[in-house]
Structure 1
Amino acid sequence: MSELFWPGDQRAGEVFSDRAFLAAMVAVESAWSRVDLTVPDGPLDVESGGNAVIPLVAALGAEHHRGLTSQDVLDTALVLLLRDAVARLDADLARALDAVDRLVEAHGATTVTGRTLTQPALEITLGHRFRQWRAGLADARADLAALTFPVQCGGPVGTDTSGTARLAAALDLAAAEPWHTRRRSITRAGDALVTTTDACGHVARDVLEGSRLGELAEARGGGSSSMPHKANPVLSVLVRRAALTTPGLAATLHLAAADQVEERADGAWHAEWDTLRLLARRTVVAVSQTADLLDGLRVHA
């Protein structure tokens, strides 16, 4: 996570942070062992085992882990992190939808030149354009709400489901058959996240065009290092940035899903973790920025 490389990253807070990931894995181990475990202090030697669960188990005590495999713990922790991210997204999407409704009420009847293929077409109302934004954001919110959050519990080779129902109930997750090499739960979440940035990108692109033509303006434009008179549409630029980069992350998740092998993947599983982290954080940031953008959007009627 770096605000220097990804301005606005701080908006995501602890979403998919190392600390949140570690706490989620400890929560899984605690639920499994029925012992209230605490997050260990100090660094873990993650590289030596290829994933964070192996050194975590050594720090917590192997007796708490008996019956699970590393993938059970790590996948279930990812699902817990996804659930938290979706809750954040739902709140900001609700805020964005409320802002669009206010725009429709205040400026829905304002006429503007409709444009097709970037060229002037026929007169429309701003309400028509705003309602298109709203529909896209509402569709994204519905896709996120339709996600399920399945527990992963299959033991060493995905055949031991004896503790599945108990672990799912303890963590308030959906009971499911082991999905060690069947990754639709991950790709479905990735698709919903990208649908969300698609909707935000549509808003941002229209605002960028509208600001270029003097029709729309952000509440607080960003400054220029060499032209102090400028008020750049910075939020729109940053949202568009996310919309341009997140589809590639979802594509990586699908590539990883297609490269699963036998009972445990040899690298494809490992490729998901940071990819999903980036996708979730960038989506959370983009939706937060979109809600702020819409809340302060000015119309030059």
Structure 2
Amino acid sequence: MSGLLRPGAHRAAGVADDAAVLAALLRVESAWARALVAAGIATEAEAAQVAAAAAGVDVDLPALAVASEAAGNPVVPLVALLRDAAGDAGGAVHRGLTSQDVLDTALVLLARDAVARVRADLVVAGDALAVLARTHRDDVAVARTLTQWAVPTTFGLRAAQWLAGVGDAVARLDGLTFPVQYGGAAGTRALLADLAGPDAGHSDRAAPALADALGLTATDLPWHTRRAALTGIGDALTTATDALGVIAADVLLLGRPEVAEVREGAVAGRGGSSTMPHKQNPVLSVLVGAAARQAPALAGQLHLAAAGAVDERPDGAWHAEWPALARLLELAVTTASQAAELVAGLQVDPVAMASRVDAATASGALDTRGATGEAGRLVDLATTCWEETRG
């Protein structure tokens, strides 16, 4: 899909585009050659030669994409190119692996790096929200339930609730694991064991060595048809976009001219209209809100694919994951970056909030019994929890 239809996609450049996927695939193949040394199946010289070939192989990405159709995935044609580039060490390329091992591990690498970027921007957003919560701890505002005025609250408590949502998302991301994939042709790891022979006895070292080389988690069993690793990543990223979507929705409501309690920070060249020069549109909130509406369907696609991962190798369910995961990674990275900027620049008008409380109270439209209650204590609790969560 063109970046023209994904405003802000430049923020996620290199997250899961073709060049990033290719680089991850080559990293896996290079790391596997080193893992074969640990398993006693390849020599140090062969591993070095494969690594050099992976670093220097000339790949025509459009041509590789076309060639991928013949095998149903890009690994098969890439392995052929890499074996040619490795020369007499070509036999050590991809030895004992299957295409899904390489592509799954490459996608996990991309996901791990994307999650780290999302977390970093969530921390930026959370820190800014903590400041807002403390600054406006006692600034009274009208609370709304089912779209109608209800009782007084404080803007500090509203910001603290946003902060708690971001904290929940960070905790979900921190709970993720990023496993390598290694099962061989049908998940039995038989070929590598045969190559190692009865006297080598080191084939079980390959998966941990691969995990160590890539900074991923080793697994006892391959997960070709158990897709919880990827659905978990999708769910955690969607938890993040959900939390950010709530912030965007509230900012859009509170920033309407007839409400005018908050507004996005003004940035030169942003928010203009093609026909109405007087307008300053809340573009970041709009884009964050749009992303929050897209992410759940992408995570749902991962679950739909997981439910159809039959036999020892899925017949299309695996393939259906790729575009959904790639898009979700890009979307989450973009959205977290936009939301961090949105929150950092948010402008709050306590006077407008107070005047609305006064008017609503005078008209009898606001129940002021108990006033703001323990709002301040809840703000303190939320900001303390955030400090523990952010690390």
**TM-score, normalized by length of structure 1?**
0.97
1:228-287 superposed Cα distances (whole Å, 9 cap, x missing partner): 111111100000000011101111100000011100001000000110000111011111
Contact 2:135/2:156 (8 A) holds in 1? no
2:107 to 67, 71, 78: 78
Q: Equivalent residues in 2 for 1:51-90 (5 A)? A: 51-61=73-83, 63=91, 64-90=93-119
Partner of 1:194: 238
Root-mean-square deviation (Å): 1.2
Alpha-carbon distance between aligned partners in 2 of 1:293 and 1:287, rounded to the nearest angstrom = 10
Give secondary structure in 2 for the equivalent of 1:188: helix
Equivalent residue for 1:180, pick from 224, 241, 265: 224
Which residue of the partner structure matches residue 240 of structure 1? 289
Aligned to 2:31: 31
Matches within 5 A, 1:72-221: 72-160=101-189, 162=204, 163-176=206-219, 177-212=221-256, 213-220=259-266
Letter in 2 for 1:171: L
What is the CA–CA distance in structure 1 between the aligned matches of 2:134 and 2:278, rounded to whole Å? Answer: 32
Residue 105 of structure 1 and its aligned partner are, at CA, apart by 2.7
**2:284 aligned with 1:251:** no
- Letter paired with 2:17: S
Identity, % of aligned positions: 55
| Deviation for aligned residue 1:25 | 0.6
Q: Which amino acid aligns with 2:129?
A: V
Shift of 1:41: 2.4
- The unaligned stretches of length 5 or more in structure 1 are none
Q: Is the 8 A contact 1:211 1:217 kept in 2?
A: yes
How far apart in 2 are the matches of 1:106 and 1:249?
A: 37
Q: Is the 8 A contact 2:263 2:348 kept in 1?
A: yes
The answer to whether the Cα contact below 8 Å between 1:154 and 1:164 also exists between their aligned partners in 2 is: no
Mapped partners of 1:152, 1:56: distance in 2: 18
1:288 aligned to which of 337, 356, 365: 337
SS in structure 2 opposite 1:113?
A: strand
- Report the TM-score, using the length of structure 2 for normalisation: 0.75
Structure of greater Rg: 2
More helix by share: 2
Q: Aligned equivalents of 1:105 and 1:218: distance in 2? A: 19
Stretches of structure 2 lacking an aligned partner (at least 5 in a row): 35-46, 84-89, 190-202, 351-391
Q: Tell me the SS of whatever aligns to 2:315.
A: coil
Tell me whether 1:40 sits opposite 2:62 in the alignment.
Answer: no
Moved more, 132-141 or 166-175: 166-175
Which residue of the partner structure matches residue 231 of structure 1? 280
Q: SS where residue 175 of structure 1 aligns?
A: coil
2:315 alignment counterpart: 266
Amino acid at match of 1:110: D
Shifted more, 1-10 versus 94-103: the winner is 1-10
* 1:24-50 deviations in Å (ceiling 9; x for gaps): 110111011123122432131111111
Using the alignment, how far apart are the partners of 1:99 and 1:254 within structure 2? Answer: 34
Name the aligned partner's letter for residue 263 of structure 2. A
Offset at residue 227 of structure 1 (A): 1.7
Distance in 2 (CA, whole Å) between partners of 1:200 and 1:180 is 32
Moved more, 103-112 or 263-272: 103-112
SS of aligned partner of 2:314: coil
Q: Alignment partner of 1:180: what SS? A: coil
User: Following TM superposition, by how much is the alpha carbon of 1:13 offset from its aligned partner in structure 2, in angstroms?
Assistant: 1.8
C-alpha separation in 2, matches of 1:242 and 1:71 = 29
Q: Match for 1:4: what amino acid?
A: L
